[in-house]
Structure 1
Amino acid sequence: MLLKYYLCSLLTLPLVLLASASKETLVLLNNLVIKETHSVLFNTLKARGYHLTFKSADDPTLVLSKYGKYFYQNLIIFAPTVQEFGGALNIETITQFIDDGGNVLFTGGVSTGSALRELAAECGFEVTEENSSLIDHLNYDISDEGKHTLVVTRSSNLIKSEEIVGKSNEKSLLYEGTTVIADPKNPLVLPILHAESTAYSYKTDVPIKDYSLGTGKDLLLIAALQARNNARVVFSGSLYFFSDAAFSSPVKKVDGSSYNVSGNQEVASNIVLWTLKDRGMIRVKSVNHHKLGDSSPPPSYTIMDMAVYLVELERWEDGKWVPHNADDVQVEFVRIDPFWRGNLKNVGDGKYEFTFKIPDTYGVYQFKVDYNRIGFTTLRSSTMVSVIPLEHTQYERFILSAYPYYASAFSMMFGVFIFSFVFLHYRDDKVKGE
């Protein structure tokens, strides 16, 4: 019985690990003090069911995977000054982790280490020069020490996506740290929070003698990358932005406006949850297609048939899948190029429908849905079908456009008949006289 118990335990162990692997998160810190100064954020994640493993960024035992299997799905790096990761962790393993679908959140600071600078460059971000800070002489908190680096930024500078930053609010945000520059033509990079037009990035104790790397709204305070495999990477130039002090601190701007508490907690929590794919996840629940009047897919369609395409979408919200309702979902009927493209009709409960006529060209086609919206994972669905020509018994007996040919044929037959009749019954007068 004891042996049977051990065998059952071994068989069920992988299933348990598989069920809990989706929320396994490795948190790397400069020191364990950050665990206390950012406890509100970590407690929020724990309340959502995430299992956090805290380690030092230079821990010699660091490892993300073994024998091709990852121990974690998410990686949080709250170690701005780290110069080199410990153990088996390096930039190559982190980028491979992202390529395999892992999610990464990391924060820099005024003294951003070379390891994070290199990681940011791999993800399409360029951190401004070392020891530089975000400075804004017109938008800073009165508790600032005089260098104007504790910047107050408006919530209107956030990306317009409820999935990433939550519902819009009028509270201002506190930010202290460095900035990044990203290529605006990169379709995978999302500018989550940009600076005010009066801000710039430079060293606080050095006279300004040359042009800054970036100024105004070109400076990104928080930037994100959603890769083509839907892996998410977020870089923040401020560790302070996610701290308990920023969450609970009142905002008193130099121009006199004030708030009892900043909006950092709501925005930061939503950004972290979005990074870890607890928000903005969307999937196809079911796909169906059939001829108009039928209910099941046919072996093949015939040209000029009326077809109906149906798809059901869901999104992840508050720990469960719920119907996703939108008015901007499109479908394409593609052979090499799209023959049909149209908006799917929302019929409620996340169900969409599209009715159209099969084109008068036979071949192998695909129903394609490519739904790419800011804040959501990219949704791609394709269903292959074949379209065959009409059988010989299905063609019309007489085609309207062929009536001139019919007329010419019958006129020729009539002409031959008249000619034959005249030829047979005509007699020459000379022949009669003889």
Structure 2
Amino acid sequence: MARLALVLLALLVATLVAPIRGDKEVLVLVENTNYASTHSLFFAQLSDAGYQLDVRAADDKTLRLRDWDTWIYSKLIIFASAIHDYGGAVDSELILEFIDSGHDLLIAVDSHVSDELRGLIGDLGVDVEPKGSAVRDHVGYVQSGGEVDHTVIASGEYGAIDGLFSSGPPEASTVFQGIGMSIPSDSKQVLNALGGSSTTFSALHETAITDAPNVAAAELALVAAIQARNNGRVVVAGSTAMFSNAFWRGPLQQHLGTKHAAPGNRELCIALVQWVFHLRGQLWTSGLRHHRVGETQTPAHYRVSDELEVSLDIKELVGGVWQPYQATDVQVEFVMLDPYVRQTLSPTANGTFSTTINVPDVYGVFKFVVDYARAGYSTLELSEQVPVRPFRHNEYERFIPSAYPYYVSVLSLMAAFVLLDFLFLYRK
């Protein structure tokens, strides 16, 4: 009894001492303390949204992401482009494990990106241009206060990502200064949230453009959004300056003469943060419901050729409120090794998706499967196993219409046999 009391006391002490993980706790790793003033508007936006920011130097020797099996933070922001070694117990392998466990990461780099961060971003499926490269635009550059710098550009090439821009992309262009990235053309998890215009390219500093490796606008990504298979999210921005106060405030005049009362940086950065922190593009479902047409209860099994009704409710998180989700590309499959039936679910105004399917004339163990993956939205994976049995002996039709000719032939044969017997026996 005394030993049990000691064990309980130890557990209580460990609970009180151990850090408590919450969805609002964010670790921010910065390169130097200047970010607290140069990016104060961005950090204030996060604080106003209720996030508890722990701003630390990236090489702080006391850094920890995890305490034994408990993650201390639920989200991570890295604004330390040139950092070569993290402090404390943090390294790239731990950050990847952090993402694999379903947590979120926001990284912003620039032309001084270190090999450490290049490797981490490469493991996430995004290729960063060589160190020292910069995105340039000799047509769409931005000038502020009479200064001209062709590496400060304005781009309005926002990606068509419904989950990221719930009410449409920003109307104003985003001011960008940093390094370019490229996304593999066959990637399904990595999305181009902001690309360059037709005159934007990437090249090394102080090198003739004809001699430097460069990336054209068609392949250039300025901001990449990554939706992991476990619904963890990552945003990689090629510019730390785009989050700064100077790029949020404006006004900035584009070389083409367009006057921006304010650039689209604030709106874009807020959208990126809300998306990566699962406040946008988040789907929820109540699960599958299925029964025979005309019934309401789910039976223990189905019979071949049954007509079934399948439905589920899907909600989308919009502005912190769950609202009915509307889409026309949600499908359900009836699978036994291979799909025997694949049907598109019809939506209603209240977010209920439903359809009717016919059980194939094959008995065995089937599964209802919904595997919904749409760019910018969290994935939905549902499956439910159901047995399908054949007809019982007393469930077959007694008279089959297609067999009527055979019935008539049998009856005619019997009638002919009786008539022949009658004539044989009674004819004189």
- 1:186 Cα deviation from its structure 2 partner: 1.0
Show the counterpart of 1:432.
none
Alignment of 1:69-218 (within 5 A): 69-143=70-144, 145-154=147-156, 157-166=157-166, 167-218=168-219
Show the counterpart of 1:310.
311
Which stretch has the larger CA shift, 178-187 or 20-29?
20-29
- 1:149 Cα deviation from its structure 2 partner: 0.5
Alignment-mate amino acid for residue 226 of structure 1: Q
Which stretch has the larger CA shift, 215-224 or 42-51?
42-51
Distance in 2 between residues matched to 1:346 and 1:192, nearest whole Å: 28
Residue 76 of structure 2 is aligned to residue 65 of structure 1: no
Which runs of 5 or more residues in structure 1 are unaligned?
428-434
- 1:12 Cα deviation from its structure 2 partner: 12
In the TM superposition, what whole-angstrom CA distance separates every residue of 1:51-79 from its partner, at most 9, and x where no partner exists?
Answer: 11111111112221122221112111001
Distance in 1 between residues matched to 2:111 and 2:338, nearest whole Å: 50
- 1:351 Cα deviation from its structure 2 partner: 1.6
Which stretch has the larger CA shift, 84-93 or 346-355?
346-355
Q: Is the 8 A contact 2:170 2:267 kept in 1?
A: no
Distance in 1 between residues matched to 2:12 and 2:274, nearest whole Å: 33
Show the counterpart of 1:364.
365
C-alpha RMSD over aligned residues: 2.6
Distance in 2 between residues matched to 1:31 and 1:230, nearest whole Å: 31
TM-score (normalizing by structure 2): 0.90
Show the counterpart of 2:236.
235
Alignment of 1:219-234 (within 5 A): 219-234=220-235
In the TM superposition, what whole-angstrom CA distance separates every residue of 1:154-206 from its partner, at most 9, and x where no partner exists?
Answer: 2xx11122431452332111000001111011111101111112121112322
Show the counterpart of 2:291.
290
Q: Is the 8 A contact 2:104 2:276 kept in 1?
A: yes
Show the counterpart of 1:44.
45
The percent of aligned pairs where both chains have the same amino acid is 35
Q: Is the 8 A contact 2:287 2:382 kept in 1?
A: no
- 1:41 Cα deviation from its structure 2 partner: 1.6
- 1:332 Cα deviation from its structure 2 partner: 2.0
Q: Is the 8 A contact 1:147 1:204 kept in 2?
A: no
Distance in 1 between residues matched to 2:181 and 2:122, nearest whole Å: 10
- Size of the aligned set, in residue pairs, is 418
Q: Is the 8 A contact 2:31 2:58 kept in 1?
A: yes
Alignment-mate amino acid for residue 127 of structure 1: V
Alignment-mate amino acid for residue 88 of structure 1: A
TM-score (normalizing by structure 1): 0.89
Q: Which has the larger radius of gyration?
A: 1
Distance in 1 between residues matched to 2:338 and 2:38, nearest whole Å: 55
Q: Secondary structure at the match of 1:272?
A: helix
Q: Is the 8 A contact 2:65 2:71 kept in 1?
A: yes
Which stretch has the larger CA shift, 401-410 or 308-317?
401-410
Q: Secondary structure at the match of 2:41?
A: helix
Which runs of 5 or more residues in structure 2 are unaligned?
none
Change in 2 beyond 3 A, CA 1:364/1:122: same
- Structure with the bigger percentage of helix: 1
- 1:280 Cα deviation from its structure 2 partner: 1.0
Distance in 2 between residues matched to 1:179 and 1:270, nearest whole Å: 20
Q: Secondary structure at the match of 1:129?
A: coil
